Amino acid sequence: GNSDFMLHKPAQILAEISDFMYLEDGDVIMTGTPAGVGEVTAGSIFSVTLYANGQRILAYKWRAE
């Protein structure tokens, strides 16, 4: 999957965050990127689609302010 290119796997990130805060449905975790990839600026558009067992279970889009 796409997580093959990540330094820290999603399960590892979730486990560490869960050690010091409670995560709720709808929470978004942004992890950052290497220098030069791009930055978030006002007006940036983000979209996410979540699949489970090959079925789309969530699609969401938002704009950074």
Which whole-number Å values give the CA distances from 10 to 5, 24, 50, in the listed order? Answer: 11, 16, 13
Chain CA centroid to CA 3, Å: 11
Structural domain of 31: 2-63
The domain tally of the chain equals 1
pLDDT (tens digit, 0 to 9) for every residue of the chain, 65 residues total? Answer: 555 666 788 889 999 999 999 998 878 888 877 677 777 889 989 888 888 888 999 999 999 88
- 59, β-bridge pairs: 49
Query: From CA 50, how far away is CA 2, in angstroms rounded?
Result: 13
Q: Cα(65)–Cα(48) distance, rounded to whole angstroms? A: 17
pTM comes to: 0.44
Q: Which two tokens stand for residue 23?
A: 């995560």
